Structure 1
């Protein structure tokens, strides 16, 4: 029996030594940047999950702490003050004469807010991006209406305000994908790079946050959502600076069109 105990003890010691050796090896490889990104992400994800489990066991409100941490670096401003500030800025780029608006369903309007044009300037795009992140703080902070605040990347229509999307992505510290309304090339298999300009293709089940200057009828956004999901990614929220109400009476506005798709559009002001 003593010999068996000794054998088991030696086996256990060797197992512990092997685990410690592998752990040390993984740590060295990760710190040196040699460890493959997918493996590093898997290790860190499991390490994070174990930490969260332990915190919950000790009674820590992990979700509240996560929400606070995710938005603490963004400007804290009341919804009313943010709306007032944005309305003042939009007046400077408002064209006050009759226009027609829409790509699929064209409707007449008595003015046009050219934020798409104004946001072609990087400084202006940055200014409005700070407004978007202030809105995000309200939505994703403690008590905010967004349930799943985990975001893996930002996506913006290339035919919308790509610089605004880039500025928001930089502030949120997330990769940016630009959506092409038509695929750049044909492919015998589903190829995300045909529909999206990106440095790296997000992993399957990664979560997107759509950002643009505005959305009137939601046609571009609906196509974008379909292609995000076709690539195996998730999306539920769409952030814009302003939301035109020209098509609201006929229920052909963006909010109505996107709602059945499980997408909520969040705007700072409605015009």
Structure 2
């Protein structure tokens, strides 16, 4: 069953902000309360008790975490380049993937708390759809930042229901998933600052994301990979070192397109490492 879970996860996967929206803050408060209630009564599921349905749910929550950051980042690019039709298409494609993963959880879970959280996430998804149909605005960019955090909180809350202690190889595979998630999160905050949403909260979260990414990269660097993957790991280190310097100079200049291209490269290289750990399970 362990191998089934992680193989499925690999194959299937590729804070609130001050927005001034009373509706969104009420929605977020409800999510926070539900998350706390769920955490109080959640017990970790034993690995031997995992079913195929549990595997699908965990896989979907991992995907939602990644997509929650990606869609906000993409909207900020769309807001920056409103006449670029491809960027709007990217948003629709990401939203479709988000909807697919929400449906997977909904079709499998029988847990009442999970179903209630899904209602919040479905609401966020519908609001995002209405936003991306319109011409991008600064107010909607702030809302997208809010909704991305709501999606993340919901996915994390559902995922905790199925948490357990990972094996060494599972930890490494999780590290690669978190690297991709944090790369999207870093770019999201970078773009938020670039677009003028220069708040202390955004800067703190950006630094936390960078620190988190560096910790996972350290885990990758400590692993004894074979020769070809050592080359990939060295390339990742080299590119990230350059990107880290860009992020450190954020008050001097912004190069969002170059950073975005670099993130695409890093995620593609990280996928190769993910494949290695998936085969070792």
Please indicate the TM-score interval, normalised by the length of the shorter structure: under 0.3
Higher relative contact order (CA 8 A, sep 6+): 2
Structure having the larger proportion of residues in strand: 1
Of structures 1 and 2, the larger Rg is shown by: 1
TM-score normalised over the length of structure 2: 0.26
The TM-score normalised by the length of structure 1 is 0.27
Greater per-residue helix proportion: 2
